[in-house]
Every structure is written in C-alpha cells, then in structure tokens.
Amino acid sequence: MKIIPGPASIELAERIAKNLSLPIVKYSYKYFYDNETYLRVDETVKNETILIIQSTHFPQEKHWLELFILCSTLKDLGASEVISIIPYLSYARADKRKIEGEALSHQILIELLGKSGCDCVITMNVHNPEAFYSSSKGIEKININLFHHIGAELKSEYKNFIVVGPDKGAEEDVRTLAKLLETDYLLFEKERDALTNEVKMKTPDYNFENKDVLLVDDIITSGGTAKLASKLILEKKPRTLQFLCIHALSKDEVYLELKNMGVEKIISTNTIPNKQIKQLDIAPYIAKYIKEKFL
Ligand code: R5P
C-alpha cells in the first residue's frame, strides 16, 4: 500500500503516512494560467493499492475534480485498488429534495467517484450516514465517527463540562461524547427556514449558572447555529463556554465573532486545515483504522 497526498490534504496525508510507515507516491501537479489542473504520476503504481487523502472543502469543485482525476489516472496506470479518504465530504447536505427539482448532489458525487475508478471511500462524520450508505452501489463506503476517538483524548480536560447539542440531529454525537467524558448532555431544538436559511432555537429549562459548557456540533459553516446557541447559553451566565466541532468550514471572521461574544475556545479536528483555531489531529485514528482494516 502507498499513499498519495491530494493537493487539499498534504499535511494530514503526510502524518497518516508517517503513522503507518507507508511510502508516498511521487506525483506532480500544477495549475495552468487559466486555472486548469495538470497532474502526472511520477512512479509506477502497477498492481499497488493506493490510498488517496483528499478533503473536499473550499474550493469544493476543484478538490472533487482533482480527486476524480487522481482516481482515474491511478486505475489507468494499473493500480489494483484505489481507496479515497475524504476527511470532509462536501455536498453531503444535498442529500434529499426539500424543494421539488433540487439536485441530489451528494448521491451524484459518490456515483461519479465510483465511476472514476475509486473502489472504496472512507469519510468522517458525514452529514447523513443513511443517505451516504444508500448512495451508489458501485463503491464501498465507510463513515468513521470521530467523536468516539476524540472523546477519549478530551476526557481529562472536559469531564466536568455539560455537553450541549444545538439540535436533535446532534443527539447521537452529543450522547457519544458525553458518555466518553463521563458527563451529562442536553439538546436544544432548532428549526431552519429552507428558503431564507434563518435559524430559530428553543432551549430546555436548565440552570447554566456557573457551569462549564461544551457546545458541540458536527460542522460549522455560516456559524448561524453556533452563534445563536452560544448567545442563548451566554445569556444564562455559565462559568465558561467552549465550542467543539469536527469540520470547521467557516471563514475566520466567524471564529472571531464567536470569541468576541465570549466563547473561550474553539476546537475542531483537522479534517479541514485551519491555523486560526485549535485543531485535534485525526491522523493517528485514521492510521489505526487503515491498519486494522487493510494491512
Ligand atoms: C445541521 O444539521 C448541522 O449539524 C450543523 O448544525 C449546521 O450545518 C451548521 O451550519 P451553520 O454553521 O451554517 O449554522
């Protein structure tokens, strides 16, 4: 087995390769003047299993296209198996039609990934695991819940915190994390207008005064959910409030706004690289999974 660090995830891929003591395949890529991608695999991959690590955050279309080109080229050059690790799988929220006529982009991309030669896709905390697993039959699919792994790492620091999920959809993650931290959790109720994207939230009757609170979500994008939940918690005078998520997709000003509101610390994993916030390294967990399943 050899590793290819996709252009979107070079640092993470190098860490995974190091954790597994696996060689990295030499390849070259550049962007032409008109921004088209040039790619060349510089060594033989014949009869090899290749692990590509490529997240698909902004610019999403470019990262997806790089992944398709890599998978297809590797298969064309004789690789026996291509496994794509996509730490953050974008478009996963376009998994169902809320309005008639909407594109099911999530299903389309998984289908295209299989067609491009990828045999197996491994992702982390995909938005809707059910939609992910029931998408294209032509490719093996694996979703890893990173809350199981980071929970153990955070235990000593957060065991006296109350864990809060901003909506019912966060229940499984929040319950998992609270159990690993040996603490309690509670959930807010959230409603989002499909057209305006406006978020409304209801809080349960709970006394936050002098509590240390860990607000937890799978993903932060516009920051609307995290900001509203933080505002509601901070109004109830907790001792401290921190925010934890798996995929940090927001622009830097969103993290700054949260900090200015009084959120003491913002933590995510490094599924999407970001130097502005504290990031937990997922390379050891991915490496462990690969070792157990494939090596
Ligand atoms: C929603 O179902 C997700 O779990 C997140 O709460 C949501 O996607 C976060 O998005 P935003 O930061 O735009 O509110």
Which residue matches tokens 């008639």? 100
Supply the pLDDT for residue 61: 97
Supply the pLDDT for residue 110: 98
From first CA to last CA, the distance across the chain in angstroms is 8
Q: What is the mean pLDDT of residues 248-264?
A: 97
Ligand 1 contact via 221 beta carbon (within 6 Å): yes
The residues facing 53 across adjacent strands are 5, 85
Task: Answer whether residue 197 shows pLDDT above 80.
Answer: no
In contact, 228 and 191? CB cutoff 8 Å: no
Supply the pLDDT for residue 252: 94
In contact, 12 and 53? CB cutoff 8 Å: yes
234 Cβ contact partners less than 8 Å away, ≥ 6 residues apart? 241, 261, 262
Cα of 190 vs centre of ligand 1, distance in Å, is 10
- Within 10 angstroms of residue 224's Cβ, the number of other Cβ atoms is 17
Supply the pLDDT for residue 5: 98
Q: What is the mean pLDDT of residues 94-121?
A: 97
- CA pair distance 246, 145, nearest whole angstrom: 9
Task: Answer whether residue 193 shows pLDDT above 90.
Answer: no
Give pTM, 2 decimals.
0.94
Supply the pLDDT for residue 192: 81
- For the chain, the average pLDDT equals 96
pLDDT band at residue 78 using 50, 70 and 90 as cut-offs: very high
46 is catalytic: no
Ligand 1 contact via 128 beta carbon (within 6 Å): no
Structure tokens at 231: 């505002």
Cα of 31 vs centre of ligand 1, distance in Å, is 32
Supply the pLDDT for residue 82: 98
**pLDDT tens digits for range 108-158:** 999 999 999 999 999 999 999 999 999 999 999 999 999 999 999 999 999
Which residue matches tokens 């550049």? 30
> Which of 75, 190, 211, 227 is an active site residue?
190
Chain-centroid distance of CA 33 in Å reads 31
- Within 10 angstroms of residue 122's Cβ, the number of other Cβ atoms is 22
Supply the pLDDT for residue 199: 81
- CA pair distance 87, 78, nearest whole angstrom: 25
Ligand 1 contact via 223 beta carbon (within 6 Å): yes
Task: Answer whether residue 194 shows pLDDT above 80.
Answer: no
pLDDT band at residue 253 using 50, 70 and 90 as cut-offs: very high
Sign of the Cα pseudo-torsion (266, 269, 272, 277, in order): positive
Task: Answer whether residue 107 shows pLDDT above 90.
Answer: yes
In the chain, what's the furthest Cα-to-Cα distance?
62
- What's the Cα-to-Cα distance from 85 to each of 2, 16, 139, 141, rounded to whole Å? 13, 11, 13, 10
Q: Whose CA is nearest to atom 9 of ligand 1?
A: 220
Q: Pick from 238, 175, 230: which is nearest to 201 by CA? A: 230
Q: Pick from 14, 221, 226: which is nearest to 127 by CA? A: 221
- Cβ neighbourhood burial of 40 (10 Å; 0-12, 13-18, 19+): exposed
**pLDDT tens digits for range 272-285:** 999 999 999 999 99
